[in-house]
C-alpha cells in the first residue's frame, strides 16, 4: 500500500524557519506530482505548493517568496522549506500525492495523503 509520512513540524517563533519532509513508499514516486496542503483551526484545507515530475513548481500567493518545494527522487522524498514564518502559517501541514505527472491546486486531484505534521508559529 501507498504510505506518506510527514515530519519536521514544531513550535517556533515568528521569523524562524522549518523544513518539512515527506517520505513515500509503495508507489513509483518519480511518476507522480506531489503537493503540500495545510489546514488552520476553523478553516478549510488549502493549497500551499506543488511540484510536478518535470520540476515545475507552484505556490499559493500567501507563501510565495518564503516557501520552497523540492523533491529528491532517489530518496522518494518531497520537502517544504519554510522561511520567515508568520503566525498565520500555523496549521497542520499535509503531504499529498497526485494521480499523474501533473496536479492542480484542487485537493480532489490528489489520491494519497499523509497524516499531517503540526506547525505552530507564535509571536
Answer whether 87's CB lies under 8 Å from 40's CB.
no
Grid cell in block for residue 53 = 515530475
Grid cell in block for residue 101 = 505527472
Q: Which of 100, 85, 94, 112 is nearest to 38 (CA)?
A: 94
Q: Work out the average pLDDT over 23-33.
A: 86
Picking from 3-12, 27-36, 37-46, 71-80, which range would have the lowest pLDDT averaged per residue?
27-36
Q: How many Cα atoms are found within 13 Å in the side-chain-facing hemisphere of 117?
A: 19
Cell 500551499 appears where?
A: 48
Per-residue pLDDT reduced to its tens digit, 47-85: 999 999 989 999 999 999 999 999 998 999 999 999 999
To the nearest whole number, what is the mean pLDDT of the chain? Answer: 95
Q: What are phi and psi of 41, to 5 degrees?
A: -55, 130
Answer whether 107's CB lies under 8 Å from 114's CB.
no
Cell 484545507 appears where?
A: 45
Q: Which of 1, 27, 23 is nearest to 100 (CA)?
A: 27
Whether the per-residue pLDDT at 103 is higher than 90: the answer is no
Grid cell in block for residue 104 = 492542480
Amino acid at each position: 500500500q501507498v504510505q506518506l509520512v510527514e515530519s519536521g513540524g514544531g513550535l517556533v517563533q515568528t521569523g524562524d524557519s522549518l523544513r518539512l519532509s515527506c517520505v513515500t513508499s509503495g508507489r513509483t514516486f518519480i511518476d507522480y506530482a506531489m503537493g503540500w496542503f495545510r489546514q488552520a483551526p476553523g478553516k478549510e484545507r488549502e493549497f500551499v505548493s506543488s511540484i510536478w515530475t518535470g520540476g515545475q513548481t507552484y505556490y499559493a500567493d500567501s507563501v510565495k517568496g518564503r516557501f520552497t518545494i523540492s523533491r529528491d527522487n532517489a530518496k522518494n522524498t518531497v520537502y517544504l522549506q519554510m522561511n520567515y514564518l508568520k503566525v498565520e502559517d500555523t496549521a497542520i501541514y499535509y503531504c499529498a500525492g497526485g494521480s499523474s505527472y501533473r496536479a492542480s491546486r484542487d485537493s480532489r486531484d490528489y489520491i494519497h495523503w499523509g497524516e499531517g505534521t503540526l506547525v505552530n508559529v507564535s509571536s
